[in-house]
Structure formats: C-alpha cells, structure tokens
Amino acid sequence: MDIVVLVKQVPDTESLVQIGDDGVSIKTQDIKWIMNPYDELAVEEALQIKEAQGGTVTILSLGPEKTVEAIRTALAMGADQGVHICDPAAEGSDALATAKLLAAALKDLPCDLIIAGQRAVDEDNYQVAAAVAEFMGIPQISMVNKAEVFDGKITCHRTIEGGTAVVEASLPALFTTQRGLNEPRYASLPGIMKAKKKTVDVKTVADLGIDSGSVGAANRKIKIKALNLPPERQAVRMIDGEAAADKAAGLLKILHDEMKII
C-alpha cells in the first residue's frame, strides 16, 4: 500500500495571531510554526497502515522553505520520503491553485491512498483535500475518525452532526482526518537521526508542468479585502453575592428577566 500524506505548516494553535501592517495578512515574525494538527493524525494513520500492511508513506507539502521542517517532522515520525513544492511563484496560492499543484505532484508518485487533514487550522478552508480528490478523479471521505483498509477497499467512519456515517470506497481514494482517529506518535531521537538521511524532493511550479500564471498570490480567486480582530465584547459584568444561590439568582435575573435569553 503506497500512501501519500498531504501536510501543511501552520501557526501553533497556542499562538496569538496578529494582523500585519498591510491589513490583509498576518504578522509572521514571532510565530511558532507547527505541522497542522489534523495532518499529524494523517501521518500517524498512514504509518499504522504501513506497519500493518507494508508499503510506503510519502509526505507531500507546498510552502516556503521553512515548510521542510514539517516534512522532516513527519519523516522523523517514520515516513519514508518527502516531496516539497517550493517556489516563490506558488506562494499565496488559494485552495484551488494549491490543490492543482498537489494533484500535479501526485501524478508522479505511487499512490493507492491519500490522507489529509480535514482542514488547515490557519485559513480553515476545508477545500484542498476535496479539490485534490476531484482533480485526481478519485473518491473522497471527509472527517474520518476510524478507517480500515482491506482488499482494495477502504471503510471509513465519517463524522456527521450527531453521529457517524460508515462509508466504503474503492481504492485509490482520499480521506481526511478527524480528532479521535488515533494518537499521533512523537518523533523519537533515532527517528530524528534517520530522518536526516531521507530524501526530500524539491519541485518548482514549472517542474510540475503548471502555468505559473494560474497559481500564486496574484491569481487568487479569493481576495482578502481586510482582516479584523473579532469584535470586542463589552466589559464583563460580574455577578456577586453571599452564597452560590444568591449569585445563581442574580444570573437568572439577568438571563431571564432582563435579557430574555432563557
């Protein structure tokens, strides 16, 4: 089973995100960059399938030079090789252009199964994986918290509102991860040492046969007009009282009598 995992490097979820001076991008200095948490689940799942059934795990990522750190993390977890689409012409690509580039790189990789995070926790677009599946002409299953690969087929538990839908697809296929799928391993020290010797193939937009006039920041369909901080709330109104019952009555007076929320 040859598996490709799509990985993105994103700001740490514990980071404070600040708006840059141009008002349409974020300040990138002072940010700690990590592998997208949903992609860690994807790497772990790929490694578990490989450990059980054999095959290879390839990490595919698009991003600036420092993105190789996320690829190396995945290699240190146990993946076999990396492919890094690294080209200034690709920077700032929107979801569709990103998917187009990833799909072009996938054409040259042995691949029975693609695993990706359900979304990257930066732009929260939920689009790249689905668009990759469409460009590849293969089925997709989203937000999976249980997957079984068997006999040329994959069975996934796709989380939906209030439960899960069990879905079967023929391979090759793509699925995206949901929390609960597994507990991603940490890279071990020997793993980190080994990762240094693994290959990361660097590709440019031209290498992939894609017209640079169709990707990158200048060719986004989604134009960011402004970034804002969420509206500030009014100062908190503290509810005091002697006993718990007094405070509870005070809260209900506001929520029920004044605001009519409950």
Under the binding rule (CB under 8 A), the answer on residue 239 touching other proteins is: yes
**Among 64-72, 77-85, 134-142, 184-192, the segment contacting other proteins (CB under 8 A):** 134-142
**186: helix, coil or strand?**
coil
Q: How many residues bind other proteins (CB under 8 A)?
A: 87
Which of 81, 139, 187, 204 touches other proteins by CB under 8 A? 139
CB-nearer residue toward other proteins: 196 or 221: 221
Quick check: 217 binds other proteins (CB under 8 A)? Answer: no
Give the burial string for 194-215 (b: 16+ CB within 10 Å, else e).
ebeebebeebebeebebeeeeb
From 52, 193, 218, 255, residue interacting with other proteins (rule: CB under 8 A): 255
- End-to-end C-alpha distance for the chain, whole angstroms: 55
| Tokens, residue 179 | 């929390």
The correct pick among 141, 208, 210, 215 for binding other proteins (CB under 8 A) is 141
Q: Does 126 bind other proteins (CB under 8 A)?
A: yes
Nearer Cβ to other proteins (3/129): 129
**Rounded distance, CA 254 to CA 85, Å?**
55
Residue 206 interacting with other proteins (CB under 8 A): no
Considering the rule CB under 8 A, would residue 169 count as an interface residue with other proteins? yes
Token pair for residue 175?
A: 């699925």
Under the binding rule (CB under 8 A), the answer on residue 164 touching other proteins is yes
| Alpha helices per DSSP H over 107-181 | 128-136
Is 95 a residue that touches other proteins (CB under 8 A)?
yes
Determine, following the binding rule CB under 8 A, whether residue 218 of this chain makes contact with other proteins: no
- Residue 198's alpha-carbon distances to 1, 192, 202, 234, in angstroms, are 19, 10, 13, 53
